[in-house]
Chain A
Amino acid sequence: MSLTAGIDLGSSFTKVVIADGAGEILGMARRPTGFHFAAAAQKALDEAMADAGVERGDIGYIASTGFGRYTAEIHDLAITELTCHAFATHRWLPEVRTVLDAGAQTVKALRMDEVGRVVAFRLNDKCAAGAGAFLQKTVKYLGYHETDIAPLSAAAVNPVTVSSVCTVFAESEIINHLADDQSVENVCAGAVIALTGRAAQLVKRVKAEPPFALTGGLSSVDLLRDRLGELLGSPFATPPDELGAYAGAYGASLLAHQRLQKRTELSPVPA
């Protein structure tokens, strides 16, 4: 009963992390969220338990986060993803003061204090132009998959300028670029750079203080990370072992441990 699970029900993917009392990750899972949130949460939890080689009885506390956090029937506690991303980043990179969590439907910038508490935040969730959905759509128009965003954009020689704000309007622009014989790599990188500009604005609005970190599903896109650093004048770190996409779930599992400890202190196990 000493383990905890963090479930992050994102708009695109559901992530689960199972951790022990020391914050060591024992198992992980990631699967598309789809439209049946509770089922996605349960399946991802089952996969993470299999990955860790543990059973439901070994898990003493489950915290959920992400936009579908209230729909996971199995959770003991629901926590906002801002708190979770701040907490996880603080554990991995204690010096970091500003985090950009770049997800599919929401991009969030947060500033935190020296113990990992959120002090200020801004988010974009009204328009796909400033979120990962812009890149998901772009690679779809290009005939590729979202896992290709990072390698394609990294291979660009001369990125195009994508001037349309609206993701829908950008489709015509992308078709025109391809008709002008621009490479898929240059178009993909152009889209990443357009998104970077919008994300940097969000970071500026929280009165960002370095060191910076990038988390969320898009933290694996090196071009995004590098360009953000250039635009904001200080490099962006990413979580170790490419765990950026799991930051929310990991933060939730750490916060679940705090709750579990409190519960154990209040009702000590009889000797």
Chain B
Amino acid sequence: MLVAGVDVGSTQTKAVIMDRDQEILGHGLCPTGARLDEAGQTAFTLALDEAGVTESDIDYVVGTGYGRFRITFGDVQVTEISCHARGAVHLFPNTHSVLDIGGQDTKAIKVGADGQVIDFNMNDKCAAGTGRFLGAASEALEVPLGELGPLALGSKNPVKMTTTCTVFAESEILGWLAKGRRVEDVVLGVHVAIASRSVTLLRRVGVEPEVTFTGGVTRNSAMVELVSEQVGERVNTSEESHYCGAIGAAIFAWDRVLAGHPSERRTSV
């Protein structure tokens, strides 16, 4: 018996295939783009391929993320807040706080022992302090997203970003370069701004160790360092952190299967 979790995020879609022992057998990742339903299917197929199984082997699929209602092949949808909480506790059982920095939103979640959500806070009005702020820096500086973290770690003297707005930050970044500041210093300044904004969000729900950091931005080594620094302790991350929402969704799928919910999914052949 196998289940799948599919997380259709604002920027990227993630999928995992999970077995009865809650081991992850396959991962899928693709850009979300404008066709949310297609992105869900693509990530799901990639995960099936990695696991070496077919769609008919999957007993239950839970969708999450902002595009979760557009997944045509899922059985049920669960909010990404619940999935990240559940996924984080699965990856790091001593988790009490979760910080999820995604492409367009950042969420801070206080979780109970079983991964239930006690409280949460998120930015839903403004892109400041989200992965998108890094995206803006990447565009303005013409540095690929994946190279920003290592570049930031090469600076010891970050610029002080004064703008909150992601749109205005693009101008500020170019302004710093025009003043002769090194690219590394500007990039580190951008990272510091995001880390400080997201940790402020986390403080609003209360920082209770252990803190687990999830979402696509966990792949950025400089952000992991800076968030740890601002939280005041080492935050948990792993290779799987990027897939945390999908992992949480897969665990919810197991809940449903074990509770005897039959799949209502129509398997496409």
Q: A residues bordering B, Cβ < 8 Å? A: 11, 35-36, 105, 126-128, 133-134, 137, 165-169, 172, 175-176, 179
Pairs A–B under 8 Å by Cβ, sample size 16: A11-B171, A35-B174, A127-B165, A128-B167, A128-B168, A133-B167, A137-B167, A165-B125, A165-B126, A166-B127, A167-B127, A167-B166, A168-B132, A168-B166, A168-B167, A175-B34
Interface positions, chain B 166-206, Cβ under 8 Å from A, are 166-168, 171, 174-175, 177-178
Docked complex Cα distance between A40 and B50 (Å): 56
Is B263 an interface residue when CB atoms closer than 8 A count as contact? no
Count of chain B residues with Cβ under 8 Å from any Cβ of A? 19
List of B residues within 8 angstroms of A167 by Cβ: 127, 165-167
Is B10 an interface residue when CB atoms closer than 8 A count as contact? yes
Using CB atoms, name the residue of chain A closest to B166: A168
- From B10, B125, B168, residue with most partner A Cβ within 10 Å: B168
Q: B residues bordering A, Cβ < 8 Å? A: 10, 34, 104, 125-127, 132, 136, 163-168, 171, 174-175, 177-178
Docked complex Cα distance between A36 and B132 (Å): 27
Interface of A is mostly: helix
A126 near B164: Cβ-Cβ < 8 Å: yes
B178 near A36: Cβ-Cβ < 8 Å: yes
Using CB atoms, name the residue of chain A closest to B33: A175
A128 near B165: Cβ-Cβ < 8 Å: yes
Which of A36, A169, A176, A179 is the one whose CB lies under 8 Å from B127?
A169
Known contacts A35-B175, A105-B171, A168-B132, then 17 further A-B pairs from the complex at CB < 8 Å, ordered by chain A residue = A126-B163, A128-B165, A128-B167, A128-B168, A133-B167, A133-B168, A165-B125, A166-B125, A166-B127, A166-B166, A167-B166, A168-B127, A168-B166, A168-B167, A172-B10, A175-B34, A176-B34
CB distance from A48 to the nearest CB of B (A): 23
List of A residues within 8 angstroms of B167 by Cβ: 128, 133-134, 137, 167-168
Docked complex Cα distance between A133 and B125 (Å): 17
Using CB atoms, name the residue of chain A closest to B127: A168
Using CB atoms, name the residue of chain A closest to B169: A128
List of A residues within 8 angstroms of B125 by Cβ: 165-166
CB distance from A12 to the nearest CB of B (A): 9
List of B residues within 8 angstroms of A105 by Cβ: 168, 171
Docked complex Cα distance between A36 and B165 (Å): 22
List of A residues within 8 angstroms of B174 by Cβ: 35
List of B residues within 8 angstroms of A175 by Cβ: 34
A126 near B34: Cβ-Cβ < 8 Å: no
List of B residues within 8 angstroms of A166 by Cβ: 125-127, 166
CB distance from B165 to the nearest CB of A (A): 5
Docked complex Cα distance between A66 and B206 (Å): 42
List of A residues within 8 angstroms of B177 by Cβ: 35
User: Assuming A168-B132, A172-B10, is B175 touching A126 (CB within 8 A)?
Assistant: no
- From B165, B166, B171, residue with most partner A Cβ within 10 Å: B165
CB distance from A10 to the nearest CB of B (A): 12
List of A residues within 8 angstroms of B34 by Cβ: 175-176, 179
Docked complex Cα distance between A137 and B174 (Å): 17
Using CB atoms, name the residue of chain A closest to B126: A166
List of B residues within 8 angstroms of A35 by Cβ: 174-175, 177-178
Docked complex Cα distance between A176 and B36 (Å): 11
List of B residues within 8 angstroms of A126 by Cβ: 163-165
Docked complex Cα distance between A174 and B28 (Å): 28
List of B residues within 8 angstroms of A179 by Cβ: 34
Using CB atoms, name the residue of chain A closest to B125: A165
List of A residues within 8 angstroms of B126 by Cβ: 127, 165-166
Docked complex Cα distance between A126 and B171 (Å): 13
List of A residues within 8 angstroms of B166 by Cβ: 128, 166-168
- From A35, A134, A168, A176, residue with most partner B Cβ within 10 Å: A168
CB distance from A222 to the nearest CB of B (A): 24
Docked complex Cα distance between A166 and B104 (Å): 11
Docked complex Cα distance between A169 and B171 (Å): 18
CB distance from B139 to the nearest CB of A (A): 12
Using CB atoms, name the residue of chain A closest to B34: A175
Docked complex Cα distance between A166 and B175 (Å): 22
Docked complex Cα distance between A165 and B124 (Å): 9
CB distance from A197 to the nearest CB of B (A): 15
Docked complex Cα distance between A36 and B177 (Å): 11
CB distance from A253 to the nearest CB of B (A): 27
List of A residues within 8 angstroms of B175 by Cβ: 35
List of B residues within 8 angstroms of A128 by Cβ: 165-168
